[in-house]
Amino acid sequence: MGTMRFPDDVKLITGLISNDDSLFQKIRTRLEREFGHVDFESESLTFEHTDYYGDEMGENLKRRFLSFARPIPLKGAHMIKVRTNRFEKDYSLSNRRAINIDPGYLNLSKLVLFTTKDYSHRVHIADAIFAEVALYFKDGTFNPFPWTYPDFKTKDYIDIFNSIREIYKTGRQR
| Mean pLDDT score across all residues of the chain | 95
Q: Are 145 and 134 in contact (CB under 8 A)?
A: yes
pTM, rounded to two decimals = 0.94
Q: What is the pLDDT of residue 121?
A: 93
Q: Are 14 and 101 in contact (CB under 8 A)?
A: yes
CA distance 163 to 157: 10
> What is the domain partition of the chain in residue ranges?
11-172
CA distance 98 to 65: 16
Read off the pLDDT of residues 119-143 as tens digits, 9 standing for 90 and up: 999 999 999 999 999 999 999 999 9
Q: What is the pLDDT of residue 172?
A: 82
Residue 101 scores a pLDDT above 90: yes
Query: Average pLDDT in the 138-157 region?
Result: 97
Which percentage of the chain shows pLDDT scores above 70? 99
Residue 174 scores a pLDDT above 80: no
Residue 173 scores a pLDDT above 80: no
